[in-house]
Protein backbone atom coordinates (compact mmCIF):
# COMPACT_ATOMS: atom_id res chain seq x y z
CA UNK A 1 0.00 0.00 0.00
CA UNK A 2 1.10 3.48 -0.71
CA UNK A 3 -0.15 6.77 0.56
CA UNK A 4 -2.07 9.14 -1.67
CA UNK A 5 -0.01 11.77 -3.33
CA UNK A 6 2.83 9.44 -4.19
CA UNK A 7 1.83 9.56 -7.85
CA UNK A 8 0.97 5.86 -8.28
CA UNK A 9 -2.00 3.72 -9.27
CA UNK A 10 -5.62 4.06 -8.18
CA UNK A 11 -5.57 1.05 -5.80
CA UNK A 12 -3.99 3.21 -3.12
CA UNK A 13 -5.63 3.51 0.27
CA UNK A 14 -6.02 6.92 1.76
CA UNK A 15 -5.79 7.65 5.44
CA UNK A 16 -5.99 10.81 7.41
CA UNK A 17 -5.29 11.83 10.95
CA UNK A 18 -8.22 12.51 13.22
CA UNK A 19 -9.29 16.09 12.97
CA UNK A 20 -8.27 18.15 15.93
CA UNK A 21 -7.57 21.77 16.33
CA UNK A 22 -4.16 22.86 17.51
CA UNK A 23 -4.08 25.16 20.52
CA UNK A 24 -3.70 28.81 19.67
CA UNK A 25 -0.11 28.96 20.89
CA UNK A 26 0.85 26.14 18.50
CA UNK A 27 -0.55 27.92 15.44
CA UNK A 28 2.16 29.30 13.16
CA UNK A 29 2.85 33.02 13.30
CA UNK A 30 2.41 34.83 10.01
CA UNK A 31 5.28 36.91 8.67
CA UNK A 32 5.23 40.35 10.19
CA UNK A 33 2.82 39.28 12.95
CA UNK A 34 3.51 39.97 16.58
CA UNK A 35 4.12 37.46 19.34
CA UNK A 36 1.07 35.41 20.29
CA UNK A 37 -0.23 36.41 23.74
CA UNK A 38 -0.23 32.84 25.08
CA UNK A 39 3.37 32.27 24.00
CA UNK A 40 4.32 35.66 25.41
CA UNK A 41 2.74 34.93 28.79
CA UNK A 42 4.17 31.41 28.94
CA UNK A 43 7.67 32.75 28.27
CA UNK A 44 7.30 35.45 30.92
CA UNK A 45 5.97 32.96 33.46
CA UNK A 46 8.72 30.38 32.93
CA UNK A 47 11.52 32.94 32.84
CA UNK A 48 10.20 34.81 35.90
CA UNK A 49 10.12 31.54 37.87
CA UNK A 50 13.72 30.85 36.82
CA UNK A 51 14.83 34.35 37.85
CA UNK A 52 13.11 34.16 41.25
CA UNK A 53 14.56 30.70 41.94
CA UNK A 54 18.06 31.82 41.01
CA UNK A 55 17.65 35.01 43.02
CA UNK A 56 16.71 33.03 46.12
CA UNK A 57 19.73 30.79 45.61
CA UNK A 58 21.96 33.85 45.30
CA UNK A 59 20.46 35.44 48.41
CA UNK A 60 20.82 32.39 50.65
CA UNK A 61 24.27 31.39 49.44
CA UNK A 62 25.52 34.97 49.31
CA UNK A 63 24.41 35.67 52.88
CA UNK A 64 26.33 32.63 54.15
CA UNK A 65 29.32 33.54 51.99
CA UNK A 66 29.51 37.06 53.42
CA UNK A 67 28.78 35.91 56.99
CA UNK A 68 31.93 33.76 56.91
CA UNK A 69 34.16 36.73 56.17
CA UNK A 70 33.61 38.67 59.36
CA UNK A 71 31.62 39.29 62.47
CA UNK A 72 29.18 41.76 60.88
CA UNK A 73 26.20 39.52 60.09
CA UNK A 74 23.74 42.40 59.76
CA UNK A 75 25.85 44.19 57.16
CA UNK A 76 26.37 40.93 55.27
CA UNK A 77 22.62 40.34 55.15
CA UNK A 78 22.00 43.92 54.02
CA UNK A 79 24.65 43.80 51.29
CA UNK A 80 23.36 40.47 50.01
CA UNK A 81 19.81 41.75 49.95
CA UNK A 82 20.80 44.84 47.94
CA UNK A 83 22.76 42.79 45.41
CA UNK A 84 19.89 40.29 45.07
CA UNK A 85 17.33 43.05 44.47
CA UNK A 86 19.61 44.51 41.81
CA UNK A 87 19.88 41.07 40.19
CA UNK A 88 16.08 40.66 40.14
CA UNK A 89 15.44 44.11 38.68
CA UNK A 90 18.02 43.75 35.92
CA UNK A 91 16.93 40.25 34.92
CA UNK A 92 13.18 40.94 34.96
CA UNK A 93 13.74 44.09 32.91
CA UNK A 94 15.85 42.23 30.33
CA UNK A 95 13.29 39.45 30.10
CA UNK A 96 10.43 41.90 29.60
CA UNK A 97 12.38 43.59 26.81
CA UNK A 98 13.27 40.28 25.21
CA UNK A 99 9.68 39.05 25.34
CA UNK A 100 8.45 42.12 23.49
CA UNK A 101 10.82 41.64 20.53
CA UNK A 102 8.95 39.69 17.85
CA UNK A 103 10.75 36.99 15.94
CA UNK A 104 9.60 33.80 14.33
CA UNK A 105 11.28 30.57 13.34
CA UNK A 106 8.07 29.29 11.83
CA UNK A 107 7.14 27.17 14.83
CA UNK A 108 5.80 28.75 18.04
CA UNK A 109 7.20 25.97 20.24
CA UNK A 110 10.64 26.48 18.72
CA UNK A 111 10.24 30.24 19.24
CA UNK A 112 9.56 29.62 22.92
CA UNK A 113 12.55 27.30 23.26
CA UNK A 114 14.84 29.82 21.55
CA UNK A 115 13.60 32.60 23.82
CA UNK A 116 14.10 30.42 26.90
CA UNK A 117 17.61 29.52 25.72
CA UNK A 118 18.51 33.19 25.37
CA UNK A 119 16.93 33.87 28.77
CA UNK A 120 19.02 31.11 30.37
CA UNK A 121 22.21 32.52 28.85
CA UNK A 122 21.33 35.98 30.17
CA UNK A 123 20.53 34.44 33.55
CA UNK A 124 23.92 32.71 33.64
CA UNK A 125 25.72 35.96 32.78
CA UNK A 126 23.80 37.89 35.44
CA UNK A 127 24.49 35.13 37.98
CA UNK A 128 28.22 35.29 37.24
CA UNK A 129 28.16 39.08 37.59
CA UNK A 130 26.36 38.80 40.92
CA UNK A 131 28.90 36.29 42.21
CA UNK A 132 31.69 38.68 41.18
CA UNK A 133 29.99 41.53 43.09
CA UNK A 134 29.57 39.38 46.20
CA UNK A 135 33.22 38.32 45.97
CA UNK A 136 34.31 41.95 45.79
CA UNK A 137 32.17 42.80 48.83
CA UNK A 138 33.72 39.90 50.77
CA UNK A 139 37.22 40.98 49.81
CA UNK A 140 36.46 44.55 50.97
CA UNK A 141 35.09 43.23 54.28
CA UNK A 142 38.19 41.12 54.79
CA UNK A 143 40.50 44.04 54.02
CA UNK A 144 38.66 46.41 56.36
CA UNK A 145 38.66 43.82 59.18
CA UNK A 146 42.37 43.26 58.68
CA UNK A 147 43.19 46.96 58.72
CA UNK A 148 41.02 47.41 61.82
CA UNK A 149 43.00 44.72 63.63
CA UNK A 150 46.22 46.55 62.80
CA UNK A 151 44.86 49.80 64.25
CA UNK A 152 44.27 48.35 67.72
CA UNK A 153 45.59 50.52 70.56
CA UNK A 154 48.90 49.45 72.18
CA UNK A 155 48.73 47.16 75.19
CA UNK A 156 48.51 48.57 78.68
CA UNK A 157 51.62 48.56 80.86
CA UNK A 158 51.91 45.26 82.67
CA UNK A 159 49.78 43.30 80.28
CA UNK A 160 52.81 41.66 78.73
CA UNK A 161 56.00 40.36 80.35
CA UNK A 162 58.82 42.80 80.97
CA UNK A 163 62.52 42.19 81.33
CA UNK A 164 64.60 44.21 83.76
CA UNK A 165 68.11 44.66 82.39
CA UNK A 166 71.08 43.76 84.53
CA UNK A 167 73.13 46.81 85.46
CA UNK A 168 76.84 47.11 84.67
CA UNK A 169 78.03 47.78 88.19
CA UNK A 170 77.35 46.34 91.62
CA UNK A 171 73.92 47.17 92.90
CA UNK A 172 71.50 46.01 95.51
CA UNK A 173 68.87 45.15 93.01
CA UNK A 174 70.92 43.36 90.39
CA UNK A 175 71.41 39.67 90.77
CA UNK A 176 72.27 36.77 88.60
CA UNK A 177 70.08 33.76 88.69
CA UNK A 178 71.78 30.48 89.44
CA UNK A 179 72.51 27.99 86.73
CA UNK A 180 70.22 25.09 86.34
CA UNK A 181 72.69 22.61 87.70
CA UNK A 182 74.03 25.10 90.34
CA UNK A 183 77.62 24.21 89.47
CA UNK A 184 78.26 26.72 86.76
CA UNK A 185 80.32 29.88 86.89
CA UNK A 186 77.30 31.85 88.08
CA UNK A 187 76.91 30.44 91.53
CA UNK A 188 76.06 32.68 94.43
CA UNK A 189 77.68 32.48 97.86
CA UNK A 190 75.58 30.69 100.43
Dump the DSSP string for 7-60: S--TTPPP--PPP-PPPGGGSPPPTT----HHHHHHHHHHHHHHHHHHHHHHHH
The pLDDT value given to residue 41 = 86
Between 47 and 104, residue with greater pLDDT: 47
The pLDDT value given to residue 2 = 47
Residue 113 pLDDT exceeds 80: yes
Tell me if 55 is assigned to some domain.
Answer: yes
The CB-based long-range contact list for 119-125 (8 Å cut-off, 24+ gap) reads: 119/43, 119/47, 119/50, 119/95, 120/50, 122/91, 122/94, 122/95, 122/98, 123/47, 123/50, 123/51, 123/54, 123/91
Residue-wise pLDDT tens digits, 41-86 = 889 999 999 999 999 999 999 988 888 765 677 788 888 999 999 9
The pLDDT value given to residue 186 = 58
Tell me if 74 is assigned to some domain.
Answer: yes
Number of domains in the chain: 1
Tell me if 43 is assigned to some domain.
Answer: yes
Between 173 and 78, residue with greater pLDDT: 78
Tell me if 177 is assigned to some domain.
Answer: no
Residue-wise pLDDT tens digits, 125-158 = 999 999 999 999 888 888 877 777 776 665 555 5
Tell me if 100 is assigned to some domain.
Answer: yes
Q: Which domain holds residue 111?
A: 35-147
User: What share of the chain has pLDDT > 90, as a percent?
Assistant: 29
Average pLDDT over the chain, rounded to an integer? 75
Tell me if 179 is assigned to some domain.
Answer: no
Tell me if 53 is assigned to some domain.
Answer: yes
Is the pTM for the entire model greater than 0.75?
A: no
Tell me if 41 is assigned to some domain.
Answer: yes
Amino acid sequence: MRAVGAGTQSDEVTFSWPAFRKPAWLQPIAKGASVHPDSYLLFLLISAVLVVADGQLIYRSGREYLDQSGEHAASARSATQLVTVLFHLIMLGLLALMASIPFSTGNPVRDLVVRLGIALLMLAAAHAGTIAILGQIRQNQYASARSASRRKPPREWGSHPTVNPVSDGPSDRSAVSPAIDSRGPYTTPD
